[in-house]
Amino acid sequence: MAKVVVTRKIPGSGIKMLQEAGFEVAVSPQDRVLARNELLNFIQGADGVLTQLNDKVDESFISAAGANLKVVANFAVGFDNLDLPALLSHNIVATNTPDVLTEAVAEHTIALIFAISRRIVEADKLARSQTLEFGPSVLLGMELNGKTLGILGLGRIGSRVAEIGKAVGMEVAYYDVKKNSEFESKVGAIFKITPEELLAVSDIVSIHVPLLNSTKHLINAERLKMMKPTSYLINTSRGPVVDEVALTQSLKSGVIKGAALDVFENEPRLSPGLENLANVVLTPHIASATTEARSAMGELAAKNIIAVLSGQSPLTPIKKP
């Protein structure tokens, strides 16, 4: 009987699907990220592993699992935790969970945009303090209508954020390595040929690129200075795309107006000083955390494992970025 290891409990019927497919299914009894040694022990003898984005899958993972390992199904759309060349060299299929979380992540991005531009978290604290009444100049924010939403990375999630931004009256500009004329005419979006041009025109910059060598610290001190001093930076992609120390400094010194972040360079830690700033909204990597998305992610990961272990093609194999 093939053995499938699930490194952390997941919502929805993914685990049941694996059991009903006839596999021996071992689900981590701990509802937390496994320490490296726990993880490497737990995956021994697996034919398939359903991994989390905080499980690093590299040569040591592959050798700990052993020679039967045929598929690693990552419970995430992002896959920077996987060493794809290593998996390929051992003929192990890698899959991710695109599409099923697009809406959840796009909605969370929009929630962060509203939260930072209308100072919702600051206002919530003040309302709870029961000290602040209505005042003409109290907690002024920025309207989105008519402002420019700059999308950095026009993949599935970036495109959906752009559509919702348009629906709330924003102008949309985008930068991507590929120009998308069809999307431009559908949404009325304007293509900027460099990230720098996008940063210069945007009131809100929202990051939707994968983490690659070429995107690490894409937003650094120099590029932050190219943004408008009245603008906001939103990141729901991967923390290391932004130089967080440089961002913290820029937020302190007023280089940009504020930031709303769901991802961080060294999760769950924050760069020193970030937690003390009033002009940031922070959420702990929850952009895809809806019951709908997380259940569908588990089910898609399970379907990928079932397909591969039954000799069929996976539904969502990871393609080289």
Stretch that binds ligand GLV, among 70-78, 142-150, 185-193, 300-308 (CB under 6 A): 70-78
Q: Fill in the DSSP letter of residue 76.
A: S
- Residue 53 CB, shortest distance to ligand GLV, in Å, is 6
Q: Determine if 304 is a binding residue for ligand GLV (CB under 6 A).
A: no
23 alpha-carbon distance from chain centroid: 30
What's the CA dihedral at 62, 38, 314, 311 to 10 degrees? 70
Q: Which of 45, 52, 56, 78 binds ligand GLV (CB under 6 A)?
A: 78
One DSSP character per residue, 152-210 reads E--SHHHHHHHHHHHHTT-EEEEE-SS--HHHHHHHT-EE-SSHHHHHHH-SEEEE---
Nearer to ligand GLV, 76 or 172 (CB): 76
Stretch that binds ligand GLV, among 76-84, 108-116, 120-128, 309-317 (CB under 6 A): 76-84
Q: Determine if 242 is a binding residue for ligand GLV (CB under 6 A).
A: no
Q: Determine if 53 is a binding residue for ligand GLV (CB under 6 A).
A: yes
Q: Determine if 293 is a binding residue for ligand GLV (CB under 6 A).
A: no
Nearer to ligand GLV, 7 or 288 (CB): 288
Reported as type and span, the H/E element at residue 15 is: helix 14-20
Q: Which of 69, 94, 101, 110 binds ligand GLV (CB under 6 A)?
A: 101
One DSSP character per residue, 234-295 reads EE-S-GGGB-HHHHHHHHHTTSSSEEEES--TBTTB--TTGGG-TTEEE--S-TT-SHHHHH
Q: Determine if 241 is a binding residue for ligand GLV (CB under 6 A).
A: no
Nearer to ligand GLV, 78 or 240 (CB): 78
What mask of x and - would describe binding to ligand GLV in positions 246 to 285, judged by CB under 6 A?
----------------------------------------
Q: How far is CA 255 from CA 41, 113, 227, 229, 321, in A?
A: 47, 18, 8, 5, 32
Q: Which of 95, 102, 271, 288 binds ligand GLV (CB under 6 A)?
A: 288
Q: Determine if 77 is a binding residue for ligand GLV (CB under 6 A).
A: yes
* CA gap 123, 158 in Å, rounded: 28
Binding residues for ligand GLV (CB under 6 A) = 53, 76-78, 101, 288
